[in-house]
Structure 1
Amino acid sequence: MKIEDVVAAEFVKRPNRFQGYVKLNGEEIKVAVPNTGRCKEILVEGTKVILRKGKNPKRITPYDLIAAYKGEKLINIDSQAPNKVVYEALLNKKILELKEYTIIEREKTYGESRFDFRLSNEDGEVYFLEVKGVTLEENGYCKFPDAPTERGARHLLELVSAKEEGFGAGVMFLIQMDGMKEFSPYDERDPKFGEALRKASRKGVDIFAYQCKVCENELTLSNKVDIKL
């Protein structure tokens, strides 16, 4: 996924989930933060961040804060990026476990949930796929979620229901960085999500974890990461 109109800045502060302040060309400006997670270990004062210029000239905040350096590692934090990356990967058959599905539909409802993808093939097989972006890591070990998510646990249980009704079902944890060793649920932050994920695995729901190659102007799916439930 190519990212256009990017520029580097220095992070100053984040007064709420949706807004932040950065220094750009010596001036402090307000920017949008397209991630409702905490990101406290990433968005630290003085950190080099990457901004993407918005296409709407009437926006109150002209830039989105889409990535930040944690040491030498660049982490993409744009919550809209994972679906785009996975969509591109599905089109290009880069997710080998799902390459048999040739029809890709986005934002499809099942039960009380709207899943990111509904995949199908000429044989009439249907597969529901939910995507979760992962930005939290420590020493190469990444976890999800970084904040409690009732919606995330509900999605997992709906995937279980889909599986029990004969559909294919899976959840993709798209890690928005590279160099990772292992993925696991963050039980300390949200034990209910961890419980739901392990239940989904026991019931036959596929659990995927893929990391990304991250550049300031590009984000693409790379290779699988080991999963520890």
Structure 2
Amino acid sequence: MRFQTELVPARLIRRYNRFLADAVLEADGREVTAHCPNPGAMLGLKDEGVRIWLEPNDDPRRKLRFAWRLVELEGGHLAGIDTSVPNRVVKEALTARAVPGLATYSGVRPEVKYGAASRVDFLLTEPGLPDAYVEVKNVHLRREGDLAEFPDCVTARGAKHLAELASMVAAGHRAVMFYVVQRTDCARLAMAGDLDPRYAEAFDAARAAGVEVVCYDCAIARDKVTLRNPLPLASDLRAVHGSGGAGWRNPA
């Protein structure tokens, strides 16, 4: 997935109102307001003064001329903050049959209705095979070492998706929860049970019901983001931390 225009560096002033961020462009010192395509808590990614990368646009239909795409991390690593990117990179990989275990499916249909008034991110079909329902989740929380965690805030919608995937397994289909780690400094995935205990419980129940779990990280550059390597689940699937950040709720 390539960005539409060349990204420009800036320094973050603040992220606010969930979908807005103020920043200072490094090129000329202008202060601009950028769209923040992420309603989550963004723990560790929105500190004042952090170097970020913005995508400019000249579309007269858009109110804001910049959109926040990347955050620079220690050690030259990058994190993507756009929650729409994982679906786009997964679609590219599924269409190219580049995901082992799902490569036998030629039909890739996005946003198909299923469950209780929901839409699954992708429905995979192939004659002679059970349909595969694939739900994609964006992961960009890291609090310790190389451990990626999900979610970064309370997500009732996410727990609902897990239950609906389990119901697809009960109906004779395949169901896959596909976690995309949108940062380059992680090597494992765990559930952030201190931030959303109900999601962690729903995750355990879904796995016990036969829902498959897939996790990949991304190759992130200033011109594109692509699916990279499969990551394992941590041996201890529950990350143990304090309660900081647990009060943020994602209405989505």
Normalising by structure 2, we get a TM-score of 0.88
Find the counterpart in structure 2 of residue 78 from structure 1: 82
- Over residues 84-130 of structure 1, what are the superposed CA-to-partner deviations in whole Å (9 max), with x where a residue is unaligned? 00000101121111001110000011111211000000225211000
SS of 1:98's partner is coil
**Residues 126 and 55 (structure 1 numbering): CA distance in 2 closer, same or farther, change over 3 Å?**
farther
Which structure shows the higher strand fraction? 1
In 1, are the aligned partners of 2:43 and 2:141 still within 8 Å (CA)?
no
Normalising by structure 1, we get a TM-score of 0.96
* Structure 2 unaligned residues grouped into runs of 5+: 238-252
In 1, are the aligned partners of 2:52 and 2:71 still within 8 Å (CA)?
yes
Q: In 1, Cα distance between the equivalents of 2:18 and 2:57? A: 18
Equivalences for residues 1-229 of structure 1 within 5 A = 1-5=1-5, 6-24=7-25, 25-54=28-57, 56-71=59-74, 72-112=76-116, 113-123=118-128, 125-138=130-143, 139-228=145-234, 229=237
SS of 1:99's partner is coil
Q: Tell me which amino acid in the other structure corresponds to 2:89.
A: V
Q: In 2, Cα distance between the equivalents of 1:127 and 1:55? A: 39
Q: Tell me which amino acid in the other structure corresponds to 2:127.
A: E
Which region of structure 1 is more displaced relative to structure 2, 148-157 or 124-133? 124-133
Tell me which stretches of 4 or more aligned residues in structure 1 moved more than 6 Å: none
How many angstroms does 1:38 deviate by? Answer: 1.2
**Residues 218 and 191 (structure 1 numbering): CA distance in 2 closer, same or farther, change over 3 Å?**
same
How many angstroms does 1:45 deviate by? Answer: 1.2
Q: In 2, Cα distance between the equivalents of 1:110 and 1:66? A: 31
SS of 1:13's partner is strand
SS of 1:123's partner is coil
Which region of structure 1 is more displaced relative to structure 2, 78-87 or 90-99? 90-99
Q: Percent identity?
A: 31
* Structure 1 unaligned residues grouped into runs of 5+: none
SS of 2:162's partner is helix
Q: Tell me which amino acid in the other structure corresponds to 1:31.
A: A
Q: In 1, Cα distance between the equivalents of 2:134 and 2:176? A: 5
